[in-house]
Amino acid sequence: MGASGEQLGVMKLSDALRRAQSIGMDLVEVAPTANPPVCKIVDFGKYRYDLSKQEKEKKSSGTKLKEIKFRVNIDAHDYETKMRHAEAFLDKGNKVRAQLQFRGREMAHQEFGMQLMYRVRDDLNTMAQVEAEPKLAGRNITMTLSPLPQARRKRRFSVEADDIDEEKAEKEAADAGDE
Q: What percent of the chain has pLDDT over 90?
A: 33
Do 137 and 95 have their domain in common?
A: yes
Do 81 and 126 have their domain in common?
A: yes
Strand ranges (E), the chain:
26-31, 38-42, 65-71, 95-101, 128-137, 140-147
State the average pLDDT over residues 152-157: 84
Do 39 and 89 have their domain in common?
A: no
Residue 41 lies in a domain: yes
Least-confidence region, from 28-32, 52-56, 75-79, 162-166: 162-166
pLDDT for the residue numbered 179: 53
pLDDT value at 174 more than 80: no
State the average pLDDT over residues 44-67: 82
Do 28 and 98 have their domain in common?
A: no
**Highest mean pLDDT range out of 32-41, 83-92, 168-177?**
83-92
pLDDT for the residue numbered 11: 85
Q: Which domain CATH number covers 44? A: 3.10.20.80
Q: Which domain CATH number covers 143? A: 3.30.110.10
Do 147 and 70 have their domain in common?
A: yes
The radius of gyration computed from the CA coordinates of the chain, to the nearest angstrom, equals: 27
pLDDT for the residue numbered 141: 93
pLDDT value at 176 more than 60: no
Q: How many domains is the chain built from?
A: 2
Do 51 and 98 have their domain in common?
A: no
Q: Are the C-beta atoms of residues 50 and 40 closer than 8 Å to each other?
A: no
Do 83 and 142 have their domain in common?
A: yes
Whether a cis peptide bond, with omega within 30° of 0, leads into 36 is: yes
- Mean pLDDT, the chain, as a whole number? 83
CA–CA separation, 168 and 103 (whole Å): 41
Taking the CA atoms of 121, 124, 126 and 128 in sequence, report the sign of the dihedral they define. Answer: negative
pLDDT for the residue numbered 139: 92
pLDDT tens per residue, range 155-164: 888 765 445 5
Q: What range does the domain containing 111 cover?
A: 65-152
